[in-house]
Amino acid sequence: MTPKQKQFKSGTQKHWHLTQCPFHDDHNPSLAYNETEFICLACGRKGSVDDLRKVTNLPEWEERK
Ligand SMILES: [Zn+2]
């Protein structure tokens, strides 16, 4: 898999959720994640959601795959 630059559009395509970013000192939920990947809109950190789950507690998915 190659990382692609995707335009972030809220409310379209995938199911994005917002949470506080564990990778920087976040005071507002600025990290967007979906079923497969995450990206922080503040510090730019991104990766797979599995990596995110290792460092923070995410709420249960609405739909599991
Ligand atoms: Zn961040």
Strand partners, 17: 33
Neighbours of ion ligand 1 (CB under 5 A): 21, 23-24, 40, 42-43
Q: How far is the CA of 53 from the centre of ligand 1 (A)?
A: 14
What global pTM score does this model have? 0.67
Closest residue by Cα to residue 65 from 36, 32, 31, 33: 36
Q: What is the pLDDT of residue 15?
A: 85
Averaged pLDDT score across all residues of the chain: 81
- Note every long-range contact of 5-12, with CB atoms under 8 Å and residues 24 or more positions apart, other chains counting: 8/32, 8/39, 8/41
Q: What is the pLDDT of residue 20?
A: 92
Along the chain (65 residues), what's the average pLDDT of each consecutive run of 10 residues? 52 79 95 94 96 82 53
